[in-house]
Chain A
Amino acid sequence: AQSVTQLDSHVSVSEGTPVLLRCNYSSSYSPSLFWYVQHPNKGLQLLLKYTSAATLVKGINGFEAEFKKSETSFHLTKPSAHMSDAAEYFCVVRLGYNTDKLIFGTGTRLQVFP
């Protein structure tokens, strides 16, 4: 089965400390991977994408993610959390080249404390 697993349903950090949101995937194909963020009562906003180019991908708002094929991981990081980063984060995989169907993880809710 091809899927994506987000290992933490909730992550809490203090403002100014690093953020790590974990994601593992399983895919028979070379995957396309994405991170989306959803702020309360808003839609899904693309943070970054991996599509078989550089393994370290930089996104918006200081986020980045590293594709590690040997670990089948695509963890999202940010060096210093900001209060405005509090939101739900989704790791998403596209299954192969012949489909545009996105498979979503269950989401990680990030809380940022002052």
Chain B
Amino acid sequence: EPEVTQTPSHQVTQMGQEVILRCVPISNHLYFYWYRQILGQKVEFLVSFYNNEISEKSEIFDDQFSVERPDGSNFTLKIRSTKLEDSAMYFCASSLGRGDQPQHFGDGTRLSIL
């Protein structure tokens, strides 16, 4: 069964550094998403992306965050200047369509900011 893959599984970065989290969505999916889960808290929506542009974003997704689909297969989340509070598990998801189409999640990248 096709799946969403995320790399790396664990990323350790110094505060203030830039970090890029990578995702390969399911190949025929058209909608892409990032969520995060701070330890002990709920999974939170960050952003959705369709047709090479952001379709929706949360209040968390400020100017420090950006997303990109640099080629036909990858979908990336960049954090420009990381803060301690960015430490979390970041999940990428993709879906075939909107609405009732379920979102399929990757295994996540654990980001640790020192």
Binding site for B on A (CB under 8 A): 32, 34, 36, 41-46, 49, 51, 90, 94, 97, 99-107
Question: Nearest Cβ distance between residue B83 and chain A, in whole angstroms?
Answer: 23
Chain A: CB-nearest residue to B5: A43
Q: Are A49 and B100 in contact (CB under 8 A)?
A: yes
How many residues in B have their beta carbons less than 8 Å from beta carbons of A?
A: 26
Q: In the complex, what residues of A have CB within 8 A of residue B98's CB? A: 100
**Cα–Cα distance between A32 and B55 once the two chains are bound (Å):** 19
**Cα–Cα distance between A45 and B106 once the two chains are bound (Å):** 9
B65 within 8 A of A: no
- Kindly count the residue-residue contacts between A and B in the assembled complex, taking CB atoms under 8 Å apart: 54
B11-19, B41-49, B74-82 - the one binding chain A: B41-49
B102 within 8 A of A: yes
B108 within 8 A of A: yes
11 contacts between A and B (CB under 8 A): A32-B99, A41-B107, A43-B91, A44-B91, A44-B105, A45-B105, A51-B99, A97-B99, A101-B48, A101-B56, A102-B103
Q: In the complex, what residues of A have CB within 8 A of residue B56's CB? A: 99-101
**Cα–Cα distance between A41 and B102 once the two chains are bound (Å):** 21
CB-contacts of B16-75 with A (<8 A) = 31, 33, 35, 42-45, 48, 55-56, 58
Question: Nearest Cβ distance between residue A35 and chain B, in whole angstroms?
Answer: 11
Q: Are A100 and B108 in contact (CB under 8 A)?
A: no
Q: Are B58 and A101 in contact (CB under 8 A)?
A: yes
Q: Are B99 and A101 in contact (CB under 8 A)?
A: no
**Cα–Cα distance between A98 and B43 once the two chains are bound (Å):** 20
Q: Assuming A99-B56, A100-B48, A101-B56, is B42 touching A46 (CB within 8 A)? A: no
Q: Are A43 and B103 in contact (CB under 8 A)?
A: no
Question: Nearest Cβ distance between residue B54 and chain A, in whole angstroms?
Answer: 12
Question: Nearest Cβ distance between residue A11 and chain B, in whole angstroms?
Answer: 18
Q: Are A43 and B105 in contact (CB under 8 A)?
A: yes
